[in-house]
Structure 1
Amino acid sequence: MIEIEGRSILSIFDAIEDSIYVIKRDYTIEFMNQAMVRDFGERTGEKCYRVLNGCDEVCPWCRNEEVFEGLTLHRELYLPGIDKHYRLTEMPLRKEDGTLSKVSMYRDITLRKKTEEKARASEEDYERLFEHVPSGLYVSSKEGRFLNANHYLLKMLGYESKEEFLEIDITKDLYVRPEDRRKFMDEIERNGYVIDYEANFKKKDG
């Protein structure tokens, strides 16, 4: 719990780059630091749910009561009105007169979230391409274990389940001639890639 001594703590809040505001138990905003004002405008005296969510009633994700009971909370929050993601920290604040308020600190993590979303979308695009290319494809470790395979390869080799296929040993169970696997890996080590390498694979039934 933070305790206010004069306006010293509020001055500290004002110097912090994260958006910070303080509210009373009735949701009225008592203080907004400069970062908060930049994001939402000067809205001291208004209800926090109107400022943050543009609504006329308490936000469905509000956990005020827990904070006023003494808890400090950490969570992530998306505000659709300004299309931003935040890392939110909420904690009780005891004022000089002994009354409690709540301080909320919003750290903007929008860039990180959007980067994660792009990476996730790229991975999904790769998976779709991997599965729908009309050729047998697989990904394996250097040690000879399968990491992934598409359904075309499973069909070609007579496997019904990807889980079953991923359990087999590449050198012993896939290559008709185990030395072909070793030659293949030598090419990879030497050149970093292989083009037009031919080898015979075993089907499930041998």
Structure 2
Amino acid sequence: MGTAERREAPEGGAAARTTARTDAGAPGRGIPAAERGATGRRPARKDQAGGESGGTREQAHYRPLWVEEPARRRRLPDPVRTSAVRAVIVIAVTLIQAMVAFLCTLAGSWLAFPMVIGSVVSTILATWAALDVWVTRQVWNQRNGVVSAPSSTARALRRERRRARRQERSAERARARIRRRGAAGQLSHP
């Protein structure tokens, strides 16, 4: 028969849901364990006339194919993700190149020396790519205020932007007030 599986809800773990997992040909497939009862079969439902409809007319039970769960970690910022992808590609090419250089050396091929030189250069590039991810992440954090230190550059930038927006809104309100007072945009009527 089937086994019951207990899963926590993604909202915070307060509510839990029980679902039943059964074999493909098992009776009651797709019916929650709570509705099947001890016998493993769905209880007969009474129709509107008072009679039992039994298994002749079962209602369709909707069960989604998957349950959306919130991400455990936030998505990387675009520049950091771009540099990380670049680093992974460079490191993968470096590893492949090193393996080919090793195999060419074992085989005694003429290609061994150029491949070893290329592997050394690729190793330097791979190191640069890994450092680029770290530097890009640090720069993004500094500019966008993830670092919550009082001397954070991002905090001062946000303060300046807020001040500029406030001044822009007050200037717009003053212009709107002037437009309402004078039809032709005059400051005062003659």
TM-score (norm 1): 0.24
Greater helix share, 1 or 2?
A: 2
Greater strand share, 1 or 2?
A: 1
